[in-house]
Amino acid sequence: MSTFDGFIKDDILEVQQWQHGNAPWFQRGWTFQESYFSKRKLLIGDDMAYMWYEGRIESMDGMWYRSEDGAQLTLDASKSSRQNLMDLWYSMVGFYVRRRLSYERDRLPALSGVARALAKSFPDLKYLAGLWKADLHKWLLWMPETTQNYDDYIKQRQHEYIAPSWSWASRPGPVSWFLTPPRFRDECPEFELRVANVVTDEFHPFGRVLSANLELSAKMYKLVPPEEEGENSSKKSHHIERASFMDMERLDYYHFQYTLHSKYGGYVASLKFDWYEQRKLHDGYGFPYALIDKMRMLLISHFDISDGVLRLDSLADQKVMAGLLVVPTQNAEEFVRVGMWYSFAKGLGGGRFWEEVQPQIMRLV
């Protein structure tokens, strides 16, 4: 039995749904905070009761199960470092986005209790629409795991405003983080955050976002198709190809769908759009052409892979550059995120590609 709008109704569920791993309670977004703040939980399954505590679930018959998203959240600043809590927050978000919400606009409100508690433990932290100002250069680099085609991607973006494009909350479904230990180390920002503006309800600062933008001083590079060579063209004019699964000199832990080459064929960067297009590219640059024509690479951070599992012994320089793919809005100084990129020191790629690029003031919305 369950309550709904003040009335009681019968739930007809398959028997296996009441096993602890598949129960609806584990799938709903609004129960996520309860699972993290409650030290002990009693679960009533289809065949027996279970006790959930300290990251494990124990059944009445003495069997116990490890619970990956069942760790009790400790927000005591005296017991946890700020870095540990930041890592815990984003790990927790990774579990949360796999749950279901009846209304996508509830993505941030359903986590507001956890965010409020975290901010209370560390008052110097600033909450930014699902992210935190601390280590923003790491956590802006998230990747959607859903295979959404371009048409559906555009429809979803034009629907109800949920969060700014740079927040994981702007996308439905699971996301993963690019810069996660132990694969990388020594992550350093390549931009200056000048202003962070997040507008929320006055009485619910950790809930629904009405508007938000980040004003950055950062380096950007516009992708200029070869046909537009002339006085406005870049000496690094490029072409884009679908990435080969056989290309082993790339960060194979993630599949970035496209590779950016110089006009002479040298490697520049690996690209991953926030949508997935299975059709064969017929124009040589990307789909849709108009969006590729406007796209920029925004430099966010660099990191080192020399001691990680992704070390590339063929490269003398183990520093990798990474950032976001962005396109301008109708306001020339405002940009929205449409993907991600990374570049290691091969061909024209890596840090030297950015040496002659000057920072500029821009806003991410």
Same domain, 246 and 324: yes
Band of the pLDDT at 202, cuts 50, 70, 90? Answer: confident
**How do strand 127-128 and strand 175-177 relate by DSSP bridges?**
unpaired
Asked if 236 and 286 sit in the same domain, the reply is yes
Rg, Å, the chain Cα set: 23
What percentage of the chain has pLDDT greater than the value 70? 67
Q: 11 with 1: CB under 8 angstroms?
A: yes
pLDDT over 50 at 219, yes or no: yes
Are 92 and 36 in contact by the 8 Å Cβ rule? The answer is yes
Q: Which amino acid would we find at residue 57?
A: I
Same domain, 181 and 231: no
Residue 78 lies in a domain: no
Residue 39 CA to residue 26 CA, distance in Å, equals 16
* Same structural domain, 62 and 89: no
- Give yes or no: residues 209 and 222 share one domain: no
Question: What digits encode the pLDDT tens for the residues 45-71?
Answer: 667 777 777 667 777 777 766 665 545
Same domain, yes or no: 221 and 136: no
**pLDDT above 60 for 228:** no
Same domain, 177 and 273: no
Distance CA 63, CA 192 (A): 52
Residues 224 and 356 in one domain: yes
Measured from the Cβ of residue 354, the count of other Cβ atoms closer than 10 Å reads 20
C-beta separation of 268 from 349 below 8 A? yes
Instruction: Tell me whether residue 186 is in a domain.
Output: yes
Asked, for residue 79, whether it belongs to a domain, the answer is no
Ranges 242-246, 277-281, 324-328: which has the least confidence: 277-281
pLDDT tens across 315-341, in order?
A: 666 788 999 999 999 888 899 999 999
Q: Do 343 and 236 fall within a single domain? A: yes
What integer pLDDT is reported at residue 364 of this predicted model?
Answer: 98
The answer for residues whose C-beta is within 8 angstroms of residue 221's C-beta and 6 or more apart is 234, 236, 296, 297, 299, 353, 354, 357
Give yes or no: residues 220 and 352 share one domain.
Answer: yes
78-125 confidence digits (pLDDT tens): 556 777 788 888 988 988 888 878 888 888 998 898 899 889 888 888
Residue 251's pLDDT is what?
60
Q: Which domain holds residue 295?
A: 216-364
Q: Is residue 143 part of a domain?
A: yes
Domain count, the chain: 3
Q: Is residue 284 part of a domain?
A: yes
